[in-house]
Structure 1
């Protein structure tokens, strides 16, 4: 039986994008592209690499967990007491790529962070799509 006090929530955003996985992978892993749709950063797609995303509102500390080029990217996302994990999954489709992002680890008492992430990721995805449409 699960203890409700320890159950965590996830934010999941999925999109079918008309771009190949390789192009989306670059936008998820290259610092100059990440900066255009997410935040300033010193990211490297290397397992155990520690990095920081920084924005006007503050910063996120992360550590890379999984790197499977053009398939899976996972890293920790720690900010303001939130200890979460991001998993990006890229699945090729007939028309491009199915991109899935799951941010897991929101505690029941972190409703503000949870709802903020729900809205935030929708905006980040919209910005990501604009970057993908623009870069080669």
Structure 2
């Protein structure tokens, strides 16, 4: 079976987090909190909002394509020849929240970006959990 779409890969990271979805949502959508675990940003939680992430290694251009408070946040993630979509999904659980992050859109020739994301997202989520532990 061939075809471009079959070769597109995703990076998926899931975590069980002992905090309610509302608290995690704040950490995913408030710029001063996002900066603590991800990157500097001019994020605003509004459909169609264009924003960026800035890091030492470069910039990422983004646009919010789906937003449902405390449940789903999806935005384009474009930089260094990568056109992808990052989707956060929050599932309430008895102990808190199951948080799922998927970055979809890695082509076969983007092995470096794919492996970078596979290494990077678990670290970002570990920092997110540290930020959540400090929040009220």
TM-score normalized by the length of structure 2: 0.97
Question: Deviation of residue 2 (structure 1)?
Answer: 4.2
**Residue of structure 2 equivalent to 1:41:** 41
Query: What does residue 9 of structure 2 align with?
Result: 9
Residue 56 of structure 2 corresponds to 56
Aligned counterparts of 1:60 and 1:78: Cα–Cα separation in 2: 6
Runs of at least 5 residues in structure 1 that lack an aligned partner in the other structure: none
SS at match of 1:64: strand
| Alpha-carbon offset, residue 23 of structure 1 | 0.3
* Correspondences of 1:10-89 after superposition (within 5 Å): 10-89=10-89
Q: Structure 1: how far apart are the matches of 2:126 and 2:120? A: 10
Please give the alpha-carbon distance, in whole angstroms, between the structure 2 residues aligned to 1:122 and 1:66. Answer: 23
What are the ranges of 5 or more consecutive residues in structure 2 without an aligned counterpart? none
TM-score, normalised to structure 1's length?
0.97
Residue 8 and residue 28 in structure 1: after superposition, are their counterparts in 2 closer, same or farther (change >3 A)? Answer: same
In structure 1, distance between residues paired with 2:50 and 2:33: 18
The reply on whether 1:111 has 2:111 as its aligned counterpart is yes
Alpha-carbon offset, residue 7 of structure 1 = 2.2
How many pairs are equivalent? 136
1:67 and 1:121 map into 2 onto residues whose CA distance is 20
